[in-house]
Amino acid sequence: MLHLAFLLLLYFLPAIIGRQKRDATGIFLLNLFLGWTVIGWIIALIWACAAQPYAPVNWVPAAAATRYCCQCGTLTYPGAHFCAACGRSV
């Protein structure tokens, strides 16, 4: 039983490696449907290693012109002199 679990883990290794990547769905589908052919498994593994990691961009609109507290990381409203969360001057 442990042997079967290990083989299953080894079979889905490309999907596990690429699960945080942008092309995670494509890597998983290639791994699932063509992984049984050795070349499909190798291509999925290379794709999983080569794909760019998913990096979300935290975008803050400049028009809001909020102030940022360096102590706790809270965005306070414009013109504020003190942080509403921790009370430190911003």
Q: Would you say 10 or 86 has its CB closer to Zn ion?
A: 86
Pick between residue 8 and residue 85 the one whose CB is nearest to Zn ion. Answer: 85
The residues near 14 (Cβ < 8 Å, ≥ 6 apart) are 27, 30, 31, 35, 41, 44, 45, 47, 48
> Taking CB under 5 A as the rule, does residue 72 contact Zn ion?
yes
Q: Is 84 in the site for Zn ion (CB under 5 A)?
A: no
Taking the complex as a whole, how short is the minimal distance between the CB of residue 81 and Zn ion, in angstroms? Answer: 12
71 binds Zn ion (CB under 5 A): yes
Contact residues toward Zn ion (CB under 5 A) are 69, 71-72, 74, 83, 85-86
